[in-house]
Structure 1
């Protein structure tokens, strides 16, 4: 005898092969019916709106008069909403985005009366290993999920503890038969006997408990008013004496808490396609939205939020409501289908539009904030340089300057700054209209210059700024254009020899030959999965050719070209016709003092149905890969699937379990088995590149090559019987959905950095990541050019605020990394600082560092005070501080 908790719900894809607008129309009918049914039937105790709040906001925008009725049901815990804003992809968005998703989702739900305290992710394509830490940080101690589990390799029971690398454990419950197990359940004996009862028996066997859960719902389904009667009849018919009752996920999690004393513990990720498809190669689908999303995330985290914190610390008004709008717009795009890219072209256009709207909000708000700050501290022509790190910055900074002087010099506190001109353009001053007594008069404006500079700066204050003056000079150091086949700095040298690049570490003597090559392969898959064309072989790029170089003391750069002759589409592949050319422009940059080689790849794609990867050689024989997760790294074994007569993966898996993996940003390989004095690693840090694989090269017979997938181009949302995914098409499988936009016939840029290091520890990887992504940025107070920034030409009157020429909001002396510094939801004069620990030891944070703030409180991700917490940060974990700034008086010191 068992109690069966039947969970009535709808799984509401906000967009997919249909658009959000389609979803909104359907929701007006379905959600209204849910409210009416719950109000009229006391026996229908509760219903779940898929664990996400965005769909509730969508509904109430159309039906605002239903708000009070909905809020009553939410407050009474009869209608469950939240905790997500949208049900996130957990691999292809930033960890900060996942936290903000929960934070906004729970806030919206609580405003309506209650946020469901269940980490519900019924359809996400796999789950990263740090989800327990992300949930725990938001006060959620559990997860109910479906995809990615393997009961043979990972856990024996469907209920267990899931522990993160950050040391947090949460209760986990796996939906054995998915979220649609009891969809459209009816009281017909054949349906109960042949479907429902056998499924429940399997769930009971895997749970080993007296109470189990089975969901009753499905994609976009409406509420079934007959469910209470159906469950009563199921109870009466059960031969095992099981009781079927309408229940909530919160109620079942409470039961798990009370009966969890002997639960096993699992540590790791859920990404195995054993029972369900998890679409392992979805990280390279629709690169356009993934790259734009990455750029906006980085702009928010590395630029807009830090300068917002600096502004707020000085009492400058920042309308953070705009920040909230920007975050919510990109989070709307983070649902598994949306950011996964497995959507229709119409839906993808909506996603791109929302992302571009968010981008414009971010850049516009940034422009006004930085202009306000500069107006307080800069004289005309001065440059303000911001440091977005929690340690002082010394190194090379990119600066754009406008001047009427043909040659310029930068100074800080009267001392000259080492500066190198990269580019100088002469700009037409145009004409301005002056209104005179005789009418309008056109007045010519003299031409002026736009300079792109590299400046060597010392000790830019952490989370702060310094100011530089711009003066006329008699001459300037300039990076020289040429055709040199070698570039170098004090650490690395890159040489082109016979069409191949050689990267040399000048300090260790390590050298990597044939550093980069491109691979092209047919893609017979769809928007969910890459799948090879049977019989097709990869095509590799031709030798590199030199286009030019630019060499200076602060920066050296080499520009190359690579070509591949390939078939135009699948039909040409089958015919063996290589009639289209892919051209890549490669730009490699070395800055003085930096240990990474920066690479930018530009291409225009005219080819269809193919995958493009860049292959990066190493001097390491690896047996595993290391990649980044939110606040942690994960080591994955190299376990390729071989396609031969003895291969039986199709008998055990729903799709090919190939070792193509996803990273939050960085990938590394290392020879950890070697003696410590001979240890070495190769670390790649990308900008929005999510997918990689470690390959064996033929000439070494070793796994020594990192393949980064740049993009895949396909023309269908779903296809049947793929080589790597047998059976039905994923998604909607009875209609062919053509997606010509997913062929990515457009120009694209791909960027990453390569570093040779002694090891691939978490700390080393994060230091390289910070060096590459957290670059200082600048703004010039000037009237010459009004189009460099989005809102520059509009007049805004700023209130005067006493501000110093140099400032630091805070500095952290411990070996912690900055995740974010954001505005507070609940205190207009506070900021929220999130730090994480990339070392192997717990770190105690010295709270005396925050004495300059009016108050420093340890909080969770939702800004709820953790009164008993000590300021100790475990490895791979975080600490949040709500810092209140005393804004009533002028700042005369280097912190709040």
Structure 2
């Protein structure tokens, strides 16, 4: 009689490959080539070594082949035969600190590259990222993946008897998921003898069996960070099967484990939404305010590419310009390296963080240059047809007509000028800033030699142009008349209030008070600032025992400026604070924390634009702005994530007994946001829409929204934090100092405050976000200044002969639906438009266009499905992707 083994243990050899961390990307790539060389040799010499998961990253393929191009076919053979698993990711991205489209693009590049090499792993693999985006199940499904495997973010009481469960997104899409309860490295030191076998393996397998009531299949991930292939694994598996009568061991991979386990068993447990639990694995909730400078620059670059460059390039392509796909490929791959979980988290060495900033600055310059070229080439063609050289062209990259203000920079000989339509109608605008600029000198070659000639000076004016009706996904043209009638300017006045049609801010007795004209409600003491010690490290904020927060409430009015369309107020907050942790401990205040705040109200906007400036020379501290609200005893907050708004408790019920319950990190109710965070009752709502600020907390008693501006720390890892007991995170056997993470520099912070006389409305919040984060560009044809735009002074070709003075590529009419991307299709056979619907009901939409004859539904992988006849549906809290084709 044969003995039937009770449990099957799927041993999955793998390496978790950090692109950079306390080491640089160059260090990582040097190791990669050595390790991948050796891995392929092992696989070629041992058929019984069935496969190896190389962290689901296709970037590693590209990096290897840069150095070993001669091994392309060798590597392709292993990937094609499922001996080496790469994809679906390009890099293991953080899912809570980047734009939703960056997640999708990461998978688009990752799957396509892996498929070209023979196979992309069909598992949404999440071994180490710090929290899971609520829409990952839906996004994985959009790439044809039915499975996901993850480590972090689940509470023990969510397991409900099995580590396999259904993970559901807000749009109701699901993936079949396995939770790596013991992390991704329990089998890293797999052995059939010695301490590991005698003392560790048995208890680990018993625990896994205890947590898998519905299956006899147990997953044992067997790898670690940057590990070298364990060539002994096949022999070790053989020995384990000879010695252990309770288990059958098989060398396997994640695809095989998931397919066999889910085909054999039924797992009814459903877990919904984002996963942020810090019970079993550290989630590093406050990493979202670490190295704020990186987060800020990343958002600037993402928004510029997604909402200006790509849609503008689509318009240009329709008129005959070459879509800059090769440049965009380079830019996105640079960004994907930035988006790797350690990288964007900022929990790195100073050398690595420096490289990340340089990478972002490089991509930002590339985006500026490409935008400059496209605008200039199109404007030149418009100018030729119009027969004049004094044009201002406004580009609208939204799928509906632009209404309201566009910001532009104008150069003129005179301080006074006019903006008109081509028909001579005057267009209203206001100068918000004007500077006289020296023309400098030029060298003129004469018969007597070179001579320097003085060039007359000119004026640079920043204006707010009332640009109503700019065509959807298109442009309109205006004329700049130099030396015309006197312009309207914003000017300093003797006042203590600013206002528009919707809101008023009054400075009274050192405090800022905000009034909503529609409701008549006033929020007193709108802003205050909190300064506390940060005794943490690059992963986590930590309070300092005995430290008391310093609250800065009273402000000094600096000046007020009024114009016809814009009003601004500048105030200053300051307080004496400790300069270091040691000074915090002895209550010595040797430094002055000074915060300069500019508040701005514009005609037609129902929100306040806020900008803070801090020249930071203080170490080991955290600064939060506390925005007051009209609410008390607040039970819930709201924030956007990907395609809709999530509702969260302002208090975490697990926090009370987190130590007794064995949490590895305090489950503090500090949350991430993508664009905005809000509080609301049945009658009013107050929201903060941010630019690069990614962390907030709502204080339930008084309803304040505490938005973290930044934190400064000087160590990569530190032991025994108040909110995170035990070992240091990251590299825990060496002290890595990070003076650069103290952010001793000038910092700026931008957000807006929306205060409305209605309950929380997701559509309104996404509308304000779109209005606040510009989706437009302008270009003036002029010869006075050749340095404002990156490439203005260089000669370029002009491929387009002539263009009409206005144009629209397409438009959508449903104002409940928003666009997350407009770009060339990856296969270059059309234009991709992705629409999302944050409401509770499905929305019917049509794309109206005379430029495209065919519309086809596609998935996130851009694989075509059925053709569209007329309108189509965007599901509740979901998205729909359409490909537009000429024929």
Query: Normalising by the residue count of structure 1, what TM-score does the alignment of the two structures yield?
Result: 0.95
8 Å CA contact 1:136–1:168 kept in 2: the answer is yes
Q: Which of residues 667, 691, 694 in structure 2 aligns to 1:690?
A: 694
Per-residue CA shift, 1:93-151, capped at 9, x if unaligned? 11111111111111221221111111111011110211111211222222100011112
Give SS of 2:592's match: strand
Task: Give the deviation of 1:774 after TM superposition.
Answer: 3.0
Match of 2:750 in 1: 751
Per-residue CA shift, 1:257-310, capped at 9, x if unaligned? 424544222112211111111111100001111111111001111211121111
Match of 1:176 in 2: 181
Q: Which of residues 472, 496, 502 in structure 1 aligns to 2:507?
A: 496
Q: 346-355 or 204-213: which moved more?
A: 204-213
Alignment partners' CA distance in 1, 2:794 and 2:660: 62
Alignment partners' CA distance in 2, 1:55 and 1:65: 16
Equivalence map 1:373-388=2 (5 Å): 373-378=378-383, 379-388=388-397
Alignment partners' CA distance in 2, 1:166 and 1:154: 22
Match of 2:3 in 1: none
Per-residue CA shift, 1:65-105, capped at 9, x if unaligned? 22221111011111111110110111111111111111111
Task: Give the deviation of 1:439 after TM superposition.
Answer: 3.8
Per-residue CA shift, 1:228-247, capped at 9, x if unaligned? 1101111122231x211111
8 Å CA contact 2:158–2:271 kept in 1: the answer is no
8 Å CA contact 2:624–2:706 kept in 1: the answer is yes
Matched, 1:402 2:411: yes
Per-residue CA shift, 1:502-524, capped at 9, x if unaligned? 00011111110000011000001
Gaps of 5+ in 1: 673-678, 697-701, 887-896
Match of 1:456 in 2: 466
Q: Which of residues 338, 342, 356 in structure 1 aligns to 2:361?
A: 356
Alignment partners' CA distance in 2, 1:189 and 1:570: 46
Q: 1:578 to 1:641 in 2, by over 3 A?
A: farther
Task: Give the deviation of 1:210 after TM superposition.
Answer: 2.4
Q: 876-885 or 557-566: which moved more?
A: 876-885
Q: 64-73 or 282-291: which moved more?
A: 64-73
Matched, 1:235 2:230: no
Gaps of 5+ in 2: 1-5
8 Å CA contact 2:809–2:849 kept in 1: the answer is no
Task: Give the deviation of 1:155 after TM superposition.
Answer: 4.3
Match of 1:892 in 2: none
Task: Give the deviation of 1:648 after TM superposition.
Answer: 5.0
Match of 1:699 in 2: none
Match of 2:640 in 1: 628
Q: 869-878 or 617-626: which moved more?
A: 869-878
Question: Where do 4+ consecutive residues of structure 1 move more than 4 Å?
Answer: 640-643
Give SS of 2:184's match: coil
Matched, 1:799 2:806: no
Task: Give the deviation of 1:640 after TM superposition.
Answer: 5.3
Per-residue CA shift, 1:356-384, capped at 9, x if unaligned? 11111111111111111111113422111
Match of 1:859 in 2: 858
Q: 1:481 to 1:775 in 2, by over 3 A?
A: farther
8 Å CA contact 1:51–1:84 kept in 2: the answer is yes
8 Å CA contact 2:611–2:751 kept in 1: the answer is yes
Give SS of 1:415's match: coil
Alignment partners' CA distance in 2, 1:434 and 1:380: 25
8 Å CA contact 1:382–1:469 kept in 2: the answer is yes
Give SS of 1:520's match: strand
Q: Which of residues 132, 150, 164 in structure 2 aligns to 1:159?
A: 164
Alignment partners' CA distance in 1, 2:834 and 2:593: 43
Per-residue CA shift, 1:753-779, capped at 9, x if unaligned? 101121223212211111211343211
Q: 187-196 or 738-747: which moved more?
A: 187-196
Matched, 1:608 2:619: yes
Alignment partners' CA distance in 1, 2:276 and 2:191: 33
Give SS of 2:730's match: coil
8 Å CA contact 1:641–1:659 kept in 2: the answer is no
Match of 1:875 in 2: 876
CA-atom RMSD in angstroms: 1.7
Matched, 1:544 2:549: no
Alignment partners' CA distance in 2, 1:693 and 1:420: 38
Match of 1:723 in 2: 722
Matched, 1:590 2:601: yes
Alignment partners' CA distance in 2, 1:374 and 1:816: 31
Match of 1:768 in 2: 768
Match of 1:676 in 2: none
Match of 1:518 in 2: 529
Give SS of 1:649's match: coil
Task: Give the deviation of 1:650 after TM superposition.
Answer: 5.0
8 Å CA contact 2:215–2:261 kept in 1: the answer is no
Task: Give the deviation of 1:388 after TM superposition.
Answer: 2.2
8 Å CA contact 2:844–2:873 kept in 1: the answer is yes
Alignment partners' CA distance in 2, 1:500 and 1:641: 35
Task: Give the deviation of 1:256 after TM superposition.
Answer: 3.7
Alignment partners' CA distance in 2, 1:642 and 1:186: 37
Per-residue CA shift, 1:195-247, capped at 9, x if unaligned? 2232122222322212221111111111111101101111122231x211111
Match of 2:479 in 1: 469
Matched, 1:268 2:280: no
Give SS of 2:429's match: strand
8 Å CA contact 2:504–2:514 kept in 1: the answer is yes
8 Å CA contact 1:850–1:856 kept in 2: the answer is no
Match of 1:810 in 2: 810
Give SS of 1:123's match: coil
8 Å CA contact 2:817–2:835 kept in 1: the answer is yes
Q: 1:167 to 1:282 in 2, by over 3 A?
A: same
Alignment partners' CA distance in 2, 1:188 and 1:276: 28
Alignment partners' CA distance in 1, 2:636 and 2:496: 34
Q: Which of residues 406, 424, 438 in structure 1 aligns to 2:434?
A: 424
Match of 1:201 in 2: 206
Q: 519-528 or 330-339: which moved more?
A: 330-339
Q: Which of residues 321, 339, 344 in structure 2 aligns to 1:339?
A: 344
8 Å CA contact 2:162–2:267 kept in 1: the answer is no
8 Å CA contact 1:204–1:212 kept in 2: the answer is yes
Alignment partners' CA distance in 1, 2:521 and 2:776: 30
Give SS of 2:812's match: coil
Q: Which of residues 202, 207, 216 in structure 2 aligns to 1:210?
A: 216
Give SS of 1:342's match: coil
Task: Give the deviation of 1:250 after TM superposition.
Answer: 1.0
Per-residue CA shift, 1:438-466, capped at 9, x if unaligned? 44333322111111111212111111111
Alignment partners' CA distance in 2, 1:867 and 1:640: 45
8 Å CA contact 1:419–1:454 kept in 2: the answer is yes
Matched, 1:219 2:225: yes
Q: 1:107 to 1:642 in 2, by over 3 A?
A: closer
Alignment partners' CA distance in 2, 1:114 and 1:632: 32
8 Å CA contact 1:167–1:874 kept in 2: the answer is no
